[in-house]
Amino acid sequence: MRTIPALLLAEMTAPDGFLIECALVVARDGSRLGFTTHVDPIALDLGVDDHGADDFTIGMTLSALTMATGLDAGHAELRGAIDDDVTLAALLGRKWTGARAWLVQLSPGIDGFAPLMAGRVRDVTPTPEEWTMEIRGHADAFNQVIGDLLTPFCKAELGDPETCKFTLTPVAATVTAVVDPMRFTVSFSGTFDDDHFNLGKGEWLTGDLAGTDPVQIFNFISGGAGLGALEMFEPLAVAPQVGDTLNLFVGCPKMRSACRDLFGNILNFRGYPEVPGTPTLLRAPGTE
Model confidence at 220: pLDDT above 60:
yes
At residue 145 the predicted structure's pLDDT band, cuts being 50, 70 and 90, is low
- Greater pLDDT, 286 or 166: 166
Q: With helix as H, strand as E and coil as C, how does 24-49 read?
A: EEECCCCCEEEEECCCCCEEECCCCC
Beta strand 32-36 with 245-249 is unpaired
Give the pLDDT confidence score for residue 280 in this predicted structure.
61
Mean of the pLDDT values across residues 138-163? 81
- Cβ(175)–Cβ(184) under 8 Å? yes
Architecture of the domain whose range is 17-143: Roll (2.30)
CA 98 to chain centre: 5
The domain spans of the chain are 17-143, 171-249
Question: Taking a C-beta distance cutoff of 8 angstroms, is the pair 101, 24 a contact?
Answer: yes
pLDDT, residue 277, reads: 61
**CATH topology identical between 17-143 and 171-249:** no
- For 168-270, strand residue ranges (E) read 171-180, 183-188, 201-204, 215-222, 227-232, 245-249
Give the number of other CB atoms < 10 A from CB of residue 74: 20
Q: Which residues pair with 132 in a beta bridge?
A: 79, 125
Answer whether residue 97 shows pLDDT above 70: yes
User: What digits encode the pLDDT tens for the residues 167-183?
Assistant: 999 999 999 999 999 99
Enter the CATH code of domain 171-249: 2.40.10
Under 8 Å between Cβ of 44 and 21:
no
pLDDT tens, position by position, 16-39: 889 999 999 999 889 999 999 999
**Is it the case that residue 151 has pLDDT exceeding 70?**
yes
Give pLDDT, residue 233: 93
On the question of pLDDT at 43 being above 60, the answer is: yes
Say how far apart CA 192 and CA 223 lie, in whole Å. Answer: 9
pLDDT of 67: 75
175 contacts: CB under 8 Å, gap ≥ 6: 184, 185, 186, 207, 240, 241, 242, 243, 244, 245, 246
Express as a percent the part of the chain with pLDDT over 90.
Answer: 66
